[in-house]
Amino acid sequence: METCTSQQKITLAFINDKSPILDLICNDLIASGLEVLSRFESIDDGLSQLSELKELPNVCIIDLDFYDKSVLAQLQELSTQYPTIKLIAHSDIDTETVGRILLDIGFSSCLLVGSDADDFRKVIEKVVQI
């Protein structure tokens, strides 16, 4: 199913550590016609396995764990290695400092925990147009 906003199939990758909430959202997005190319359990997995995909996803949704001290360095490496992939953060932290850091790294958007599949779809379609 093609989206009405871009006439191209939007492809996704998810990086999350077995978040049941994000798994449900992923399933809802698949049901709505978006294609999920891959799901990774960690940023390190994503970094090592994205290059093995036949095509890169348009968007990568990352469930952020700021308790992992190396997460910012991993995110920077992901952004540098794959500059064409639009990054969307999924986090429970809503502070200006975190937002600024994510924008500096190259994230296109951030969705807070509690966002539903419709919120994700709207943001995904918007960042793909950028």
Is the model's pTM score more than 0.85?
yes
Residue 56 dihedral angles phi and psi, to the nearest 5°: -80, 145
Helix or strand holding residue 62 (H, E):
strand 59-63
pLDDT tens digits, 65-109: 766 778 889 999 999 999 999 999 988 887 888 888 889 999 999
Domains of the chain by start residue, with CATH: 11-129 (3.40.50.2300)
Instruction: Assess whether pLDDT exceeds 60 at residue 1.
Output: no
- Compare 30 and 64 and report the one with higher pLDDT: 30
Using the structure block, give the residue that is written with the tokens 């919120």: 119
Question: What's the CA dihedral at 113, 116, 117, 120 to 10 degrees?
Answer: -50
Q: At what angle do helices 96-105 and 71-81 cross, to 10 degrees?
A: 30
Amino acid in position 57: P
Q: What is the mean pLDDT of the chain?
A: 87
